Amino acid sequence: GLKATHRLADILRDIKAASSGWVHQALGRPIFSWQDGYGAFTVSPSLRMTVRRYIENQEEHHRRKTFKEEYRTLLERSGVTFDEQYLW
């Protein structure tokens, strides 16, 4: 988990930088970049295994539901107000 002193924006910046470097170097993909922005949600420790299983089966799951459909549903279920024009 994250400590209260960790800033999510800094952590995501570092993850994006490190993973971009890895993609360029290890996979030989010179043209790669992350999208601007990110979404972050907390997960209850009691649901950790449920989330892990979901991630492990994500490829199969996305054959039935697009990322956009899934993300909208997640926002709605979480009570997050959003404007569609700013999501994509």
Proportion of the chain above pLDDT 90, given as a percent: 36
> 11-46: per-residue pLDDT in tens?
999 999 999 989 988 888 878 888 888 878 888 899
Q: Is residue 6 packed enough to be buried (19+ CB in 10 Å), middle (13-18) or exposed (0-12)?
A: exposed
Higher pLDDT, 55 or 39: 55
Based on DSSP, count helices (H) and strands (E) in the chain, helices before strands: 4, 0
**Whether pLDDT at 67 is above 80:** yes
Quote the pLDDT of residue 2.
76
DSSP state of 85: G
- What are the domain boundaries of the chain? 1-37, 41-81
pTM of the model: 0.56
